[in-house]
Amino acid sequence: MSDNTPKSLQELSTEDVLTAMKSDLYEGNVNELTEEVRECLRRGMTAYDTMTRGLIAGMGIVGEDFSDGILFVPEVLMSARAMKGGMEILRPLLAETDSPKVGKAVIGTVKGDIHDIGKNLVGMMWEGAGIEVINLGNNIDADTFVAALEEHQANILGMSALLTTTMPYMKTVIDMLKSRGLREQTIVLVGGAPLNATFAENIGADAYCSDASVVIEIAKNLLAIKRGEAA
């Protein structure tokens, strides 16, 4: 006779814990999801792997079903809330660093756009790499981006857009940087699911960042070039 008693998390294989995490992200079960995140860390998985193999992979499934009309905004909001719960646990680990501060970045999601999960992950990755981050939040207009760069004397601007309707606003921000004489001294990096390298080039950004795995290297390479060092 088979034993149908549900297994505790500790009894599951790591792959099954990750599957449970994706499923709880999908269902918006924040308490279960945070336990699964903790269990992965307890097993020695890195914060980065837990984030990419669990949380980001889970959000990919949510995105597909949102596109296909299987999930709607209220359900996706529940998933986003669960994702944030998981990220809060990972945040201190991703941001943990002994490295000296190598740069200062202002980051935000552009005007008209409230998607902030990817942008927040990028901010955490940078913090962990010794880049000080001023996270402005979402729905940020050009004046606010420029004022923050000036106030904090930041040398990197990171902009995120998840909607095809909001991505053109990145050019508005870059044009304002130019008109204020700040473009040359600022490294402008852009990212978000609908963007690509051609778009980044066309609007005059320094680089397109496809995902959180590349943001540190791209920022550090461009900082080195600005300092006149070989990248």
Site of interaction with ligand B1M (CB under 6 A)? 56, 59, 62-63, 66-67, 73, 76-77, 80, 112-119, 121-122, 158-160, 162-164, 189-194, 209, 211-212, 215
Contacts of 92 (CB under 8 A, 6+ apart): none
CA atoms of 2 and 174, how far apart (whole Å): 63
Considering the complex, state which of residue 26 and residue 36 has its C-beta at the smaller distance from ligand B1M: 26
Provide the minimum distance between the beta carbon of 115 and ligand B1M in the complex, in angstroms, as a whole number.
4
Provide the minimum distance between the beta carbon of 160 and ligand B1M in the complex, in angstroms, as a whole number.
3
CA atoms of 188 and 170, how far apart (whole Å): 10
Between the alpha carbon of residue 85 and those of residues 89, 115, 126, 193, the distances in Å are 7, 16, 20, 22
Provide the minimum distance between the beta carbon of 10 and ligand B1M in the complex, in angstroms, as a whole number.
28
Considering the complex, state which of residue 9 and residue 57 has its C-beta at the smaller distance from ligand B1M: 57
Q: Which residue has the tokens 């202002």?
A: 106
Considering the complex, state which of residue 56 and residue 154 has its C-beta at the smaller distance from ligand B1M: 56
Considering the complex, state which of residue 6 and residue 74 has its C-beta at the smaller distance from ligand B1M: 74
Give residue 108's identity as a one-letter amino acid code.
G
Q: Angle formed by the axes of helices 73-95 and 30-42, to 10°?
A: 30
